[in-house]
């Protein structure tokens, strides 16, 4: 019984806290109001006998009653090759994973969803229906209907399913404007946590544009409304009864930290899911990283927000438009670009053959580039981290660099480089001292430095010379290459400040 109590306790505390606010507000509002006087000849009654009078929190019951009939449970049976989960997948924190039988390679799972179209269209999460060969949708009134997948998008974890025989007069929910939501706005979640159908919880919007490492297109809403296993794919409402998010993930071991796919992101891809069954994304052909204040100063960029281009793929749309490495993208079609991930999301939501205008700062000067997008290659939609291979023994250590900058280097071995999908020339970082200038520049073991201060680096000695000759207090731009787990190379720019 300890588990359920722990789950119910936060809801009770939240209700008490919510009720306390208007009660206190109501009392303070009446503090300077004169007390009513008794009629002449009638003795005054004591305050303890006065009827209670306090403001009450408006009930959410009317909102819930108006929307819950369109919220459904999604029960799935799916095939899996085998259960090899190691806990490293960010989606391991998502709901509706269900019970697995690796011997039979069959998974029974349950999640939530909601009707968005009278034709029987239902939105849910991709991870709820992925691999499903049998989908049964249960409504609040007890009806159970068969459904099939129309389209899925693993990168946003959104799926569109359709009732095979939709009944007449289906209740439908409206997708609201998630961009209009403000941090602190009230939200309501409805779903199927632990099989408890039509469970309702309330809270506030805690944050927007959260990146949790699920994919390069993360743009989650964060809420403290109680969300539990089985809520996956269920709606997150504003107080007008509009869906502003699709409940998707929680923080393992955390309380009151849940994430939802914004409704505007879902609205942008629904037409493709309905028509094509998948999402085709726009593609520029550049590798990006966030612009830091240190990089902004080194590149003579008068702002610290934007997307820094590390590499331009040959013959890509960006290459044909004239984009170059070290360009900083600060706007797309006049809309400010805050980070590399925001640029990736904006481009991905545009259709191939669309023309966009990129506002770029190059060598301290603002320029505009018109780019015609193409389709994004599917093999680029993998998720990886910035960990490179660990070098072998026999490194050539430079004690001066180690003491002054915090770096230990070795020349890259061509055979090892080819085996690991790395450049055949460069200096491998084998060690970074904690708290050193190299550590502050976000350098890490396994990175291969191929350029420093505008000069090509063929080996560790080349990089050592550049660093030794650098003026104290100056910033040396290092171009580094890492290998992602899918063996794809990724190029980054790092700003190393040389100590005095």
In a domain, 467, yes or no: yes
In a domain, 482, yes or no: yes
Task: Give the model confidence (pLDDT) of 255-268 as tens digits.
Answer: 778 999 999 999 99
Contact by Cβ (8 Å): 183, 207:
yes
Residue 485 has φ and ψ, to the nearest 5°, of -55, -25
In a domain, 359, yes or no: yes
Task: Give the model confidence (pLDDT) of 274-301 as tens digits.
Answer: 999 999 889 999 988 888 888 898 888 9
SS3 content of the chain, % helix, strand, coil (to 5): 25, 35, 45
Domain match, 315 and 339 both: yes
In a domain, 392, yes or no: no
Query: Catalytic residue at 232?
Result: yes
Domain match, 220 and 251 both: yes
Structurally, the chain folds into a number of domains equal to 4
Domain match, 210 and 264 both: yes
Residue 430 has φ and ψ, to the nearest 5°, of -100, -20
Active-site entry in 157, 218, 327, 462: 157
Domain ranges, residue 316: 282-380
Specify the CATH number for the domain of residue 446: 2.30.42.10
Contact by Cβ (8 Å): 70, 122:
no
Active-site entry in 127, 219, 263, 464: 127
**pTM of the prediction?**
0.65
Query: Catalytic residue at 157?
Result: yes
Domain match, 410 and 467 both: yes
Three-class secondary structure of residue 227 per DSSP: coil
Largest Cα separation within the chain, whole Å, is 107
In a domain, 171, yes or no: no
Task: Give the model confidence (pLDDT) of 29-69 as tens digits.
Answer: 333 444 455 555 554 444 444 455 545 667 899 999 999 99
In a domain, 227, yes or no: yes
Domain match, 197 and 134 both: no
Active-site entry in 206, 215, 232, 464: 232
Query: Catalytic residue at 339?
Result: no
SS (H, E, C) 26-66: HHHHCCCCCCCCCCCCCCCCCHHHCCCCCCCCCCCHHHHHH
Task: Give the model confidence (pLDDT) of 416-462 as tens digits.
Answer: 666 666 777 888 888 888 888 888 888 988 888 999 888 999 888 88
């Amino acid at each position: 019984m300890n588990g359920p109590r722990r789950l119910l306790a936060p809801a009770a505390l939240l209700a008490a806290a919510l009720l306390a606010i208007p009660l206190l507000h109501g009392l303070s509002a009446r503090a300077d109001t004169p007390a009513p006087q008794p009629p002449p000849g009638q003795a005054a009654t004591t305050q303890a006998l006065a009827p209670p009078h306090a403001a009450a929190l408006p009930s959410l019951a009317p909102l819930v009653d108006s929307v819950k009939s369109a919220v459904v449970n999604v029960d799935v049976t799916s095939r899996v090759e085998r259960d090899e989960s190691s806990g490293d997948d960010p989606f391991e924190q998502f709901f509706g994973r269900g019970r697995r039988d690796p011997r039979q390679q069959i998974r029974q799972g349950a999640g939530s969803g909601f009707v968005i179209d009278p034709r029987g269209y239902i939105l849910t999460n991709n991870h709820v229906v992925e691999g499903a060969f049998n989908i049964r949708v249960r409504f609040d009134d007890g009806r159970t209907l068969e459904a099939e997948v129309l389209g899925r998008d693993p990168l946003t974890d959104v799926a569109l399913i359709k009732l095979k025989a939709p009944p007449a007069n289906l209740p439908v929910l409206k997708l609201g404007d998630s961009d209009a939501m403000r941090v602190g706005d009230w939200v309501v979640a409805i779903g199927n946590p632990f099989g408890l159908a039509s469970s309702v919880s309330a809270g506030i919007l805690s944050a927007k544009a959260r990146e949790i490492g699920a994919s390069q297109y993360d743009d989650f809403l964060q809420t403290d409304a109680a969300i539990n296993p089985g809520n996956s794919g269920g709606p997150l409402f504003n107080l007008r009864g509009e869906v502003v998010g699709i409940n998707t993930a929680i923080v393992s071991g955390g309380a009151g930290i849940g994430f939802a796919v914004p409704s505007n992101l879902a609205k942008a891809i629904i037409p493709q899911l309905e028509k094509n069954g998948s999402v085709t994304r726009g593609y520029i052909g550049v590798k990006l990283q966030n612009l830091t204040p240190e990089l902004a100063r080194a590149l003579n960029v008068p702002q610290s927000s934007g997307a820094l281009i590390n590499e331009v793929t040959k013959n890509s749309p960006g290459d044909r438009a004239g984009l170059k490495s070290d360009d900083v993208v600060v706007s797309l079609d006049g809309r400010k670009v805050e980070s590399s991930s925001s640029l990736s999301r904006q481009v991905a939501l545009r259709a191939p053959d669309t023309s966009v205008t990129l506002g770029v700062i190059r060598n301290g000067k603002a320029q505009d580039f018109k780019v015609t997008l193409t389709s994004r290659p599917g093999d680029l939609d993998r998720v990886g981290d910035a960990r490179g291979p660990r070098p072998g023994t026999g490194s050539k250590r430079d004690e001066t660099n180690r003491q002054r900058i915090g770096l230990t280097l070795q020349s890259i071995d061509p055979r090892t480089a080819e085996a690991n999908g790395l450049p055949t020339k460069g200096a491998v970082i084998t060690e970074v001292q904690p708290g050193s200038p190299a550590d502050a520049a976000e350098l890490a073991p396994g990175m291969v430095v191929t350029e420093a201060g505008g000069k090509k680096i063929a080996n560790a000695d080349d990089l050592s010379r550049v660093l030794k000759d650098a003026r104290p207090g100056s910033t040396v731009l290092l171009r580094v290459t890492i290998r992602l787990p899918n063996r794809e190379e990724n190029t980054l720019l790092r700003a190393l400040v040389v100590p005095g």
